[in-house]
């Protein structure tokens, strides 16, 4: 370890646990999956179905139907990472 590393500071916390390489992001009237988490309302992310969606963090948005293409790709990725 070099003298510059950590410089007396505690180590950085580990990244949050993510069991799958995607997260669900409501937007455009459906719940989409994305490899990138939307951090705030209105942020644009590319979903697994290939669409760019503007995140909607309202309570009702989580009740929207799931995008069928994102659902299929999410299941494929979840099955692949479970092995």
13-67 per-position pLDDT tens digit: 776 666 778 989 999 999 999 998 877 899 999 999 999 999 998 999 999 999 9
pLDDT, position 20:
79
Counted residue by residue, the chain has a size of 83
Question: Is residue 29 a part of any domain in this protein?
Answer: yes
Q: How many CB atoms lie within 10 A of CB 79?
A: 9
pLDDT, position 46:
95
Residue 53's DSSP bridge partners are 45
Question: Is residue 7 a part of any domain in this protein?
Answer: no
CATH of the domain at 64: 2.30.30
Question: Is residue 4 a part of any domain in this protein?
Answer: no
How many CA atoms are closer than 13 Å to the CA of 7, on its beta-carbon side?
A: 1
Residue 30, domain extent: 23-82
pLDDT, position 71:
96
Question: Is residue 6 a part of any domain in this protein?
Answer: no
Count of domains observed in the chain: 1
Question: Is residue 3 a part of any domain in this protein?
Answer: no
Q: What are phi and psi of 32, to 5 degrees?
A: -105, 160
């Amino acid at each position: 370890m070099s003298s510059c590393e950590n410089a007396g500071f505690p180590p950085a916390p580990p990244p949050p646990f993510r069991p799958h390489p995607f997260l669900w992001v409501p937007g455009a009237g459906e719940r989409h999956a994305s490899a990138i988490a939307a951090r705030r309302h209105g942020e644009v992310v590319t979903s697994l179905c290939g669409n760019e969606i503007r995140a909607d963090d309202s309570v009702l948005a989580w009740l929207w139907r799931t995008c069928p293409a994102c659902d299929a790709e999410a299941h494929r990725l979840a099955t692949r990472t479970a092995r």
